[in-house]
Structure 1
Amino acid sequence: MKFKLGLICCIALAVASCTGNSTNKDGDTTLKKEDTAMANAPDAPAVNMEYCFYTTEGTAAQDTTKVSLHVNGNKVTGDMNWIPKEKDARKGTLMGNLNGNVIKALWSYGQEGGTDTLSVEFQLRGNQLAQKPYKYDAKTGKQQTDNAAGYTVIYNMKNCK
């Protein structure tokens, strides 16, 4: 008898906790695409939206790249910091344009006391950011975006701080 009473009490508590204190008067609790800014990102990122992403690479995932983007219409600004485990970090700003879900930007960064620029290309993919990788240009002795490559460098979304 005590077992049945305990079981009934547990069920009643579970049912009561599931009902909650909802103030939704129309009864619609379905999350719609327009309720989340990231749901709109692959189609058309929201105006005045901020996105933050990171990726790690290296043999022990010891090198980190962080990208923060501010999207306002088709204009994109932000920061990109490549921070390897040892030294020679590249830290700088991004300025570019958004066309669909593709961002083409110029990364102006500082490294080892000098400054340089590099064209970068990203693709917004919901809660991820994908980037075309770099290749070495023997003529200039510098890295450049490999325009023939796919978007193979994947960044995961993180909270902006």
Structure 2
Amino acid sequence: MKKIIPVLMSSGLVLIMLSCKQDKKAGQQTAITKDTLNIRTEKVSVSALKGDYCFMKAENKDTTSVHLTISGDQVKGEMTWQPWEKDGAAGTLSGKLISDNEMEVLYDYTIEGSKQTETKIMKIDQDKLYLKVGELTDPKNNGNLVYKDPSKASYSEVLNSVSCK
């Protein structure tokens, strides 16, 4: 009996120590205090979006492709719109997350040999990228397009997730 008690106590301590492992998915961590076992719940405020994302839309023979890299709240990437047998637009995206899955970026691109910029609002939902489409205006007449009324724009353009190369 005297030999069983230390074995049981050791086994109990091992089980308690194993229960202290952090469960990253649930965001819970078990902590041992002197007399009790307490459970703390910690909320993670970092966006679930991070890393590289690639999307494409092919309609008839026209294609639009977007590559995004998200780090913290910063968004960078490239976007190409290539209509069949016509000049397209290609350029860079830079901006920030404005919610967990929504971002506002500046699309700095060249179209038909001219440089232009355009504000774009996008959101990632599961395996799709939604682009907000609405009336654009150039209030300063300098080639910088912005939404005339962002509240009237809608997420009507959808690109599907593809493998990043």
- Scaled by the length of structure 1, the TM-score of the pair is 0.64
Match of 1:44 among 44, 47, 50: 47
Alpha-carbon spacing, 1:138–1:80, altered in 2? closer, same or farther (3 Å): closer
CA distance in 2, matches of 1:120, 1:138: 14
- Deviation digits for residues 14-45 of structure 1 (CA, Å, limit 9, x no counterpart): xxxxxxxxxxxxxxxxxxxx6xxxxxxxx933
Please give the root-mean-square deviation of Cα atoms over the aligned residues, in Å: 2.3
CA distances 1:50-96 after superposition (whole Å, capped 9, x unpaired): 00001133xxx221110000000100000000100021210000000
Q: Which amino acid aligns with 1:126?
A: Q
User: Structure 2 length as normaliser, TM-score?
Assistant: 0.63
Change (3 A) 1:73 1:44: same
Q: State the partner residue of 2:161.
A: 157
Q: Which residue of 2 aligns with 1:63?
A: 62
Structure 1 gaps of 5+ residues are 1-33, 35-42
Between 1 and 2, higher relative CO (CA 8 Å, sep ≥ 6) is seen in 1
In structure 1, what is the equivalent of residue 21 of structure 2?
A: none
Work out the CA distance in 2 between the residues paired with 1:134 and 1:90. Answer: 18
Deviations 1:131-161, CA, capped at 9 Å, x for gaps = 1114254875976446122211111000001
Q: Does the Cα contact within 8 Å between 1:45 and 1:71 map onto a contact in 2?
A: no
Give the Å deviation of 1:104: 0.2
Contact 1:78 1:93 in 2 (8 A): yes
**In proportion to residue count, which structure has more helix?**
1
Letter matched to residue 75 of structure 1? Q
- Aligned-pair identity in percent equals 32
Aligned residues: 116
Taking structure 1 as reference, are residues 136 and 103 closer, same or farther at Cα in structure 2, changes over 3 Å only?
Answer: closer
Unmatched runs of 5 consecutive residues or more in structure 2: 1-24, 26-45
